[in-house]
Amino acid sequence: MMEAFWEREILHKKPSSKSKQKNSPDPDIWRITSAFAFEERVAEILKPALLESSELLPLPMDERALLIANIYLVDCLDKEVAIYNPEFTFLIEKYAFDAKCLTHSLFKILQIYTEIFVAEGLGNPESEFKYLVEKNELTGLRFEKMRSSQ
């Protein structure tokens, strides 16, 4: 099975013909520091991916009831293959992950805990974060391919 690793990047909301809130200027998923935030309906959609990868906490905001996904850290940087400064481990030039230590598709790494990563091919594709975002046309994220392992 092939694993593909992705890094997220925030975008503005794009109009979608299947959008449940067509007139809403807000994205479905927000980046808040090193976490994601969303409304309950989005949390329900993403629940299969969020259950093992994060802690969901209430985030009161104005008149909205949001949830924040505090994504768990894993020690999975492959230090033999990755290119990084050993003195400043957060300065990573080339990422490489040890797929054996990844058990879920959404994660952060110890060396740079402010970044959120997404992996594919670790288990049931229908419970993976990227699949659920794309299948449900959720807005607020763009996935950029980092690397694939064969």
- DSSP annotation of 122 reads S
For residues 55-81, give the mean pLDDT. 90
Report residue 6 as tokens: 């992705």
Structure confidence by residue, pLDDT tens digits, 84-118? 888 887 888 888 888 888 888 999 998 888 889 99
For residues 119-124, give the mean pLDDT: 87
Residue-level pLDDT at 19: 43
pTM for the model: 0.79
Q: 98-102 contacts: CB < 8 A, separation 24 or more?
A: 99/3, 99/149, 101/74, 101/75, 101/76, 102/3, 102/74, 102/76
pLDDT (0 to 100) of residue 87: 84
What count of other Cβ atoms lies within 10 Å of the Cβ of residue 30? 19
The whole-angstrom separation of Cα 17 and Cα 137 is 9
Q: What are the strands, taking DSSP E only, across 11-140?
A: 30-32, 35-39, 54-61, 64-71, 73-74, 83-84, 92-94, 106-109, 112-120
**Residue 8 above 80 pLDDT?**
no
What percent of the chain is predicted at pLDDT more than 70? 81
pLDDT at residue number 100: 85
Domain spans in the chain, listed from the N-terminal domain onward: 3-13+27-141
